[in-house]
Each structure stands twice: as C-alpha cells, then as structure tokens.
Amino acid sequence: MKFRLALLVLAVLPAACVHQTVASGTKPAPSVWDRQIRNAKDAGDGDYQLNALRAKVAAESDNIPARLELAKTYRERGYPDVALEICRLAAARFPESGEVQLALAGALRDSNRRNEAISGLEAFLQAHPQAGPEYQSWLGILHDEGRQWAEGEPAWRKALEQRPQADYLHNNLGYNLLMQKRYDESAGEFREALKLNAQSQVARNNLGLALAWQNSASEAIATWQSGSDPATAHNNLAAVLMEKGNYPAARKELEIALGYNRTFQPAIQNLELVSRLDGQPVLFPVKRDQTFWDRFKRLWVGPLDDSGKDAVRTASVPATGETK
C-alpha cells in the first residue's frame, strides 16, 4: 500500500514569529479563529438547519445529542475547526460522556490531530475501563492509521475480549497483524472472521493476502477465486510477488490473468509497472484478429484449418500504469 502525505502550508503561520503592536485607539485585527467563527456564523445565518440547531443548543444547554449534531453539521458545511471546538466544549462540560469523547476523537482525527485523539481516548478508557468495544476499536483505528501497528494491537485484542463474535474485529486485528508481518496469526484471524461471516469479502481478500505472503500461492489463489474471478486472483498474487521483488514469477501470474481476460486492466497496468521495475519489455498475449480475407474464406470456402486458432501475437503497451 502506498500512503501519500499532503503538506499544507498556512499563510498565517509566519505571523506567530513576530510581535504585533496596536496603536492606541485602534481595534486589534481579528485572529484566525475569530474570522473562522465569524465566517461560520455568516454561513449559518441563512441556513435553516444550523439556525434551528443553534437555537436548540442555546435553549437546552444539557442536550448532548443536539450539541453533537451541531458539530456534525458544521463539519459537513466545511468548518471542521468550528466542529472541533464545539466537541472540545462538550467534552469539558460532559467529561463522563462516552458519546462526546468519541465525537471529539473523530473531530481531532478529521483535523489531523491523531495523537491528541489517542491521548484523549486512552485517558477516558483509563477512567472508564468497562466502556464498550467501540472505544477500543476507535483506538485501534487511530493507531493503525498512524502506522503504529504494535501500539494498535492491544486495542483490537481488548475490543475482541468484549465482543468475541464480531467478525469485523477479527478482520481488523488480522489486518493489524498482517502489517506486522505476522502472517500465520493474521490468517487465523481472517479465518475466524469468515467463520462468523462467510459473506465478508474484505476478510476473504485479506486472507488471500496473508496466504500469499506466507508463500501459500495455491491457497491464496483458491481463496481469492472463491469470491471473485480467476483473472483477479492471479493479478492479486502477482501484486504480492512484485512487492517481494520476484518479478519473473509476477510476470507469469500476470500472463495467466491475461489468459483469462485479455483486456483486464489491473493486470495490464501491473505488467506495465513490472516492466519499469525490471527493465524488461512489456509483452503480453493478445488474441489474433481475423483478417477480412479469413472471414471471406470461412464464408465462401468453408471452415478454415483451426489448428492455429489459438495462436497469439505480442503487443507492446506504453508503460503508464500503476499497481492496482
């Protein structure tokens, strides 16, 4: 998997490095937060839903669902900072509310403050050890999203202690273990998820990955084919082999995939990528088209000699694709 990191440069940051003086009698320039609040209020003045929610929160100060709905609505309107501040205020006012704590964790996550969300959830769970599995699950998600696999594992295990029959928790623990390269353990969790929910395509795909990384190629293919088609299964195995650096074996699997489906784009794109990686030309089998003369002879002369009907030719494809 590839993770792309977006770097945001805020024009207001340099202002923090200088002192600002205000002449006597003049009004200080509004801060970034002041402008955000002002803009959010202006945006909401003509918004019936926001107006109604703000009025409800003002009239019912202890109404937690109304506060959280207001935060959610501001986030959906494009004001995540306002949503976060509403959640912070709610958490300060209702420190015992798990519902508020989860909303605050989500708002912090949306604002790329994942470590702060983790710290807040851990503190809440320390004070409320009997909280439901969704809290540990969120903690696991936050750690996993930060690629903190070892730190996330205990959260998934604690969630499973509370809800051992939840197939999605077995799948998520399995994925965490897969990322730690503990393939045998991860395969066990995916199998358990499939026992609980045989229709889970996510767990089936992940089991195939674990088996492929275990070098159990035939089992991986069988697992993937049980929920998809042969071309997809062989392409998936090729992707794992490419990550392992076994380009010849990957090419073979891609040729098999294209043998099942000559126009299967993921396999074509992977073949283009493996060509860039190993420097070998991109060649794959293409079914030979009949010429006009071939069709004419079949129509007027009778059946052609079919001994070469499966002959293939090779075609070169520009190397522009990416792994799927």
Residue 45, pLDDT > 60, answer no
Model confidence band, residue 285 (pLDDT cutoffs 50, 70, 90): low
Note the pLDDT of residue 39: 52
Distance between CA atoms of residues 324 and 321, nearest Å: 9
Contact 280, 257 (CB under 8 A): no
Architecture in CATH for domain 41-131? Alpha Horseshoe (1.25)
Mean pLDDT throughout 161-179? 97
Residue 46, pLDDT > 70, answer no
Note the pLDDT of residue 51: 87
Alpha helices (H) along the chain: 32-45, 48-59, 64-76, 80-93, 98-110, 114-127, 133-145, 149-162, 167-179, 183-196, 201-213, 217-225, 230-244, 247-260, 265-278, 292-300
Note the pLDDT of residue 278: 87
How is the chain split into domains, by residue range?
A: 41-131, 228-304+311-324
* 35 vs 96, higher pLDDT: 96
Residue 74, pLDDT > 70, answer yes
Note the pLDDT of residue 40: 53
* 239 vs 44, higher pLDDT: 239
Q: Looking at 46-60, 116-130, 246-260, 291-305, which range is the least confident one?
A: 291-305
Note the pLDDT of residue 49: 86
Average pLDDT of the chain is 79
Note the pLDDT of residue 130: 85
DSSP string of 24-69? TTPPPPPPHHHHHHHHHHHHHHT-HHHHHHHHHHHH-TT-HHHHHH
Please give the CATH number for the structural domain made up of 228-304+311-324: 1.25.40
Contact 189, 200 (CB under 8 A): no
List the beta bridge partners of residue 314. 285
Residue 2, pLDDT > 90, answer no
Pair of tokens at residue 262: 């000559």
Contact 155, 132 (CB under 8 A): no
Do the two domains 41-131 and 228-304+311-324 of this chain adopt the same fold? yes
Residue 321, pLDDT > 70, answer no
Q: Give the list of residues 6+ apart from residue 298 with CB closer than 8 angstroms, or none.
A: 290, 304
**Over the stretch 194-243, which tens digit does the pLDDT of each residue have?**
999 999 999 999 999 999 999 999 999 999 999 999 999 999 999 999 99
Note the pLDDT of residue 290: 47
